[in-house]
Amino acid sequence: MPVIITAKKDGFRRCGVAHPARPVEHADGTFSSEQLEILKAEPMLVVQELVGASADPLAAMTKDKLAALLTERGVSFDPKAKKDELLALASALPQESGAQEE
């Protein structure tokens, strides 16, 4: 399953990778299941598993679109927040059931 990994400190190394302080999507199979458990347990990393197609659009959204989504859903955030911070907030939102596709 694909994952998005964000380091709390830029360049933090774990499992043979220097992780940046911005969200990076890693394709399915990049890490073994053992490595994923190590990464998830590491407090210096934020690891988000992408389950289904519904998670992909958030990572592709611009900072402004993420801010608009959060505002629409009534979530408070710092106007100076970086995209990765907005992405983390948006990823934590409950999925809307019955959403209409346009």
Residues 87, 69 contacting (CB under 8 angstroms): no
Q: Which one has a higher pLDDT value, 41 or 55?
A: 41
pTM for this structure? Answer: 0.52
Higher-pLDDT residue of 59 and 75 is 75
Q: Is residue 45 part of a domain?
A: yes
R_g (Cα) of the chain, nearest Å: 14
**Residue 54 forms part of a structural domain:** no
Residue 55: is its pLDDT beyond 90? Answer: no
The token pair at 85 is 């911070």
Residue 99 located in a structural domain: no
Inside any domain, residue 97: no
Distance of CA 21 to the CA centre of its chain: 12
Helix (H) / strand (E) containing 63: helix 63-72
- Cα–Cα distances in angstroms (integers) from residue 54 to residues 13, 30, 74, 84, in the given order: 29, 20, 20, 18
pLDDT band at 60 (very low <50, low <70, confident <90, very high): confident
Together in a domain, 65 and 45:
no
Q: What is the mean pLDDT of residues 24-35?
A: 91
Which of 27, 76, 7 has the alpha carbon at shortest distance from 93? 76
Instruction: Give the domain extent around 24.
Output: 3-49
Q: Reply yes or no on whether the pLDDT at 94 is more than 90.
A: no
Instruction: Quote the number of domains for the chain.
Output: 2
In a domain, 11, yes or no: yes
